[in-house]
Amino acid sequence: MQALDEPRMSDTFAGDAAIVTGASKGIGSGIATKLAEQGASVVVNYRSSEKRAESVVDEIVDRGGEAVAVQADVSDEDDVAAMVEATVDYFGSLDVMVNNAGMTTLGPAEEIDIEDWRRVVDVDLTGVFIGSRAAGRQMLSQDDSGAIVNVASMMGEMGFHMRAPYCAAKAGVINLTRTLAVEWAEDGVSVNALAPGFIQTDITDQTQDSAGYTDIDIHRRTPMARYGTVEEMANCVSFLARDDNYVTGEVLRADGGWVSDAWRYRENRA
């Protein structure tokens, strides 16, 4: 575990401990860094990318934060239980749980292998339930309760070509979030979801290659005419994880207006 040795940028989450799953890259690493900047001690979860996870930890520590990398497969109950236990051992509590880890597979529904379907659902939906349940059990046992933020997707609210398992799983995350929020609200545990649209990450180019779209396609279809950024998604999670906003059971869609605009494709947009 790395120790805090410099002042933090803010104290929004001072004294809190957070887990961010799938935090070795992309949106997850941005969320972990943001929470640390705001005072949280952060568990940077990874499944297989230890080197990348340690790089995120190093970045947090270099900025004056506190973090530790913890390996766990989010679809494995024992792994997740051990990660929550380790968090409490390291930091004394679990106050924020961000279920961000996810995966997808692309292909026509009639051709998707059932094992690919199950793996996406295991990680993207069952993994969110396992993480929420483990975190919820810990938070319900604490005096100060806590906040759970599940990373869903705008694709959980709409059909999307070639992504049947992902869309189905993310739709499940949205209603799971609402259900857990209702169950745990009186006990002081908020449960919310973030539903990103197309976000610029280090795997954007790879996704484009396999799905057959370009930056220009996304810009033309999105009312804000650009990708979202990792920093913007981290800011959204930071808001949802706060304990002073009277928000639970909410799905915050951050998609640049995509879902609100039922159909758009402007040739003159670049």
pLDDT of 204? 74
pLDDT of 206? 66
Within a domain: residue 254? Answer: no
- Banded pLDDT at 261 (limits 50, 70, 90): very high
Range of the domain at 75: 17-249
Residue 227 backbone phi and psi in degrees, to 5: -75, 155
**Range 109-131 average pLDDT:** 98
Q: What would the pLDDT profile of 147-157 be if each residue is shown by its tens digit?
A: 999 999 999 99
Confirm if 253 and 195 have CB atoms less than 8 A apart.
Answer: yes
- Banded pLDDT at 9 (limits 50, 70, 90): low
**Range 160-180 average pLDDT:** 97
**Range 43-63 average pLDDT:** 97
pLDDT of 142? 96
Lowest mean pLDDT among 73-82, 179-188, 201-210, 223-232: 201-210
Domain count, the chain: 1
Q: Which of 46, 90, 166, 246 is catalytic?
A: 166
Size of the chain, expressed as the number of residues it contains:
270
Within a domain: residue 12? Answer: no
**Range 20-42 average pLDDT:** 98
Annotated active-site residue 265? The verdict is no
pLDDT of 213? 83
pLDDT of 208? 74
Which sign does the torsion angle of CA 140, 145, 151, 157 carry? positive
pLDDT, mean over the chain: 93
pLDDT exceeds 60 at position 106: yes
Whichever domain contains 204, its CATH number is 3.40.50.720
Which residue, chain included where needed, has tokens 């793996």?
Answer: 119
Q: Copy the structure tokens of residue 217.
A: 């396609």
pLDDT exceeds 50 at position 249: yes
Within a domain: residue 127? Answer: yes
Percent of the chain with pLDDT over 90: 86
The gap from C-alpha 132 to its chain's centroid, in whole angstroms, comes to 12
**Range 178-204 average pLDDT:** 95
pLDDT of 267? 61
Strand order, beta sheet including 96-99: 66-71, 41-46, 17-20, 96-99, 146-151, 189-196, 251-254
Q: Copy the structure tokens of residue 214.
A: 């370009």
Within a domain: residue 257? Answer: no
Within a domain: residue 29? Answer: yes
pLDDT of 37? 98
